[in-house]
Amino acid sequence: MIKRLRRRFVLIAAGSLLIVELVIIGLINVMNFAQINSREEQLMKIMLDNGGEFPEFFKHKENKQSDFSFDDSGEPPPKPVEDQDNGFFRSHMDISEETRYQTRYFYIRYNGSLEPDVINTGHIAAVSSEEAVKFAERASAVGKNSGYIDNYRFSVRETSDGGRLFVFMDCREDMATKQRFLLMSAGISLGGYVLVCLLIIVLSGRAVKPFIENYEKQRMFITDAGHEIKTPLAIISANTEVIEMLSEPNEWTGSIHNQVDRLGGLVANMLRLAKMDGESARLEFSEFSMTDAFVDIAEPFRTLAQSRGLSLDIKFDEGIRVNGDEGALRQVVSVFIENAVKYCDEGGSISAVLSRTGSGRHALIEVTNDCADPPEDTQRLFDRFYRSDKARARENGEVKTGYGIGLSMAKAAVEAHKGRIGCRTGEGKITFFARLRTDK
């Protein structure tokens, strides 16, 4: 149980960390992609607004020598006048005078007759005029005003004379940047995730240590108390026998014997459950016939069921063998059928079935009984000492016996065999089942 708790803690912590990292990586890359795409869109807009070209960002004087000379007064020449519109783009997009030379683009302008009027490939070396026309034809076939063709982003705009302007920009560097950023962020996050997971595994022992200490104290208390209770029970039973020897047995002495037996069974179950939970407990696994064990346990319950006005139908597949602790799995069958006999509706029927699954790799134990008013939370039936209010109902003035410990023992036994246990309800019936791996 401690190992399962520690494993569950590690899985929950690692899973939560993975979700957080995926969200962070996703947001970072989405923001990076959005920023790059926004820059591309604005560059395309600038070129479309300027007929396919980048505008001049500064209006220089024709005589550039004035940039380095002084006039007769000894004062430096006046600074160039900045274009206000282009200054807006530069301040919002970090576009400089070098952007037009760093950007690889080409454009094709069609006249009103949809004939190529201007083909400009002077700003890119990888595309010729013929290839530019083919790119424009492919963009027309797409039927959209913007998109991607190979490594080029394109935008289309209608011109004032009824023609069309196609602008293409080489985005392979932006694509590579996106890919590098994605791979880098994923690699760093993966390394950090593995490191943190290792730390979680190493430190998980400290995280669950308080629980382990409390649990061990509780288990030791149950074990010590169980052994201590055995002594007064033995004395009470012996004294009752002496009373019966001195006088005739009566209903009072019989009641004492019954209660001593019930308490003795409860103590034995508590000690057995504490042993199964202990880290030092080891089940003795061996190959045995699950079919024979099932029949041996189920058949004696026929008489008990008939004495209570119930019918018990037993079905099984031949030759089912399991590698496990035979005693523990026999107890699972016993708990299921005893529970069904105890809580079956008056005059109802019980079905105990052992079968192979479709693949034949698992054995399925199913015990079903009539239950017109099943518990609402069936999974809690496997909790220790849990008994629903319906299970406490009286029949003919007699309280149904049980301490809510049998099913928890069955669950511990099945889980120790790496199996699955559960309960389902429907159509006025309740079914307890256990799925175990077979030696196929």
Together in a domain, 322 and 253: no
Residue 230 has pLDDT above 90, yes or no: no
Question: Quick one: 303 and 154 in the same domain?
Answer: no
229: CATH: 1.10.287.130
pLDDT tens by residue, 78-113: 444 444 444 444 444 566 777 777 889 999 999 877
Supply the range of the domain harboring residue 253. Answer: 209-277
Same domain? For 421 and 333 the reply is yes
pLDDT at 250: 86
Query: Rounded CA gap, 421 and 208, in Å?
Result: 26
pLDDT digits (tens, 9 = 90+) for 365-385: 999 999 888 887 777 787 766
Task: Confirm whether 204 is domain-assigned.
Answer: no
Structure tokens at 360: 């034949």
405 found inside a domain:
yes
Helix/strand/coil (H/E/C) assignment for every residue in the chain: CHHHHHHHHHHHHHHHHHHHHHHHHHHHHHHHHHHHHHHHHHHHHHHHHCCCCCCCCEECCCCHHHHCCCCCCCCCCCCCEECHHHHHHHHHHCCCCCHHHHCCEEEEEECCCCCEEEEECCCCCCCCHHHHHHHHHHHHHHCCCEEEECCEEEEEEECCCCCEEEEEEECHHHHHHHHHHHHHHHHHHHHHHHHHHHHHHHHHHHHCHHHHHHHHHHHHHHHHHHHHHHHHHHHHHHHHHHHHHHCCCCHHHHHHHHHHHHHHHHHHHHHHHHHHHCCCCCCCCEEEEHHHHHHHHHCCHHHHHHHCCCEEEEEECCCCEEEECHHHHHHHHHHHHHHHHHHCCCCCEEEEEEEECCCCCEEEEEEEEECCCCCCCHHHHHCCCCCCHHHHCEECCEECCCCCCHHHHHHHHHHHCCCEEEEEEECCEEEEEEEEECCC
Q: Which of the four pLDDT bands, split at 50, 70 and 90, describes residue 183? A: very high
Confidence band of 289 (pLDDT split at 50, 70, 90) = very high
Q: Is residue 245 part of a domain?
A: yes
In this structure, the answer to whether residues 333 and 358 fall within a common structural domain is yes
Res 352 pLDDT > 90: yes
Q: How many structural domains is the chain composed of?
A: 3
Last residue of a domain, one of 242, 277, 312: 277
In a domain, 372, yes or no: yes
Mean pLDDT along residues 158-169: 89
Q: What is the pTM of this model?
A: 0.51
Domain final position from 174, 192, 224 = 174
pLDDT attached to residue 388? 58
Nearest to 332, CA basis, from 272, 406, 410: 410
Same domain membership, residue 327 and residue 273: no
Closest CA to 414 of 384, 382, 438, 436: 436
Assess whether 401 and 312 both reside in one domain: yes
Say which residue, 132 or 401, is predicted with more confidence: 132
Question: Residue 393: which pLDDT band, with cuts at 50, 70 and 90?
Answer: very low
Same domain as 149, residue 27: yes
> What CATH number does residue 353 fall under?
3.30.565.10
Specify whether 26 is located in the same domain as 154.
yes
Residues 265 and 299 in one domain: no
Q: Is 122 contained in some domain?
A: yes
**Strand order in 429-437's β-sheet?**
311-316, 349-356, 362-370, 429-437, 420-426
- Answer with the one of 232, 252, 277 that is the final residue of a domain: 277
Residues 6+ apart with CB under 8 A from 433: 364, 365, 366, 367, 421, 422, 423, 424
Question: Is residue 113 included in any domain, yes or no?
Answer: yes
Report yes or no on 69 lying in a domain: no
Q: Are residues 404 and 299 in the same domain?
A: yes
Asked if 59 and 83 count as a contact pair (C-beta separation under 8 A), the reply is yes
How far apart CA 282 and CA 68 sit, in angstroms, is 92
Terminal Cα-to-Cα distance of the chain (whole angstroms): 28
Q: Is residue 110 part of a domain?
A: yes
For residues 363 and 298, membership in a common domain is answered with yes
> Are 23 and 165 found together in one domain?
yes
